[in-house]
Amino acid sequence: MNMQQPWVGRELTSAERLHSHLGNLQPEQDMSTTQTHNATYNEMLQHPKWKAKRAQVLARDAHQCRNCGTRENLQVHHRQYHRHKATGHKLAPWCYPDRYLITLCDACHHQGHQQFTVPCHLI
Ligand SMILES: [Zn+2]
Ligand SMILES: [Zn+2]
């Protein structure tokens, strides 16, 4: 796979790095539009297919947070969410191409979600 990393080539500040890692995010403007993960979505994160996908992303990222480099409390973040036009349902978390997934530690992940809204695209 040919992964074009936009931040390669110069030293980025940690805020810029987090921003580029998190995808094409826009600063949060209206809290009411924030996507909250519901119970069903959290249940899906326990699914064996997600565990397999997650393991694949962790392996690709060498089990390190892509923002700060720690190896502790790692999570896999979705840089975009996709929603089916017809049904309005979110895609299952394991159905995303790897390029939309990134390894972040708990702290960077939280920080990212506080600063930015994950874009949601209709497919
Ligand atoms: Zn981190
Ligand atoms: Zn996330």
What pLDDT is recorded for position 110?
96
**103, 18 contact by CB (below 8 A):** no
- In this prediction, the residues of the chain whose per-residue pLDDT falls under 70 are 1-12, 23-39
* pTM of the predicted structure, to 2 decimals: 0.68
What pLDDT is recorded for position 31?
39
Q: How far is the CA of 22 from the centre of ligand 1 (A)?
A: 12
What pLDDT is recorded for position 123?
92
Comparing C-alpha atoms, which of 17, 21, 99, 18 is closest to residue 53? 99
DSSP state of 89: P
Q: Any idea which ligand is nearest the CA of 45?
A: 2
Determine phi and psi for 111, rounding to 5 degrees: -60, -45
**102, 66 contact by CB (below 8 A):** yes
Task: Return the domain boundaries, the chain.
Answer: 38-122
Q: How far is the CA of 81 from the centre of ligand 1 (A)?
A: 21
Q: How far is the CA of 8 from the centre of ligand 2 (A)?
A: 22
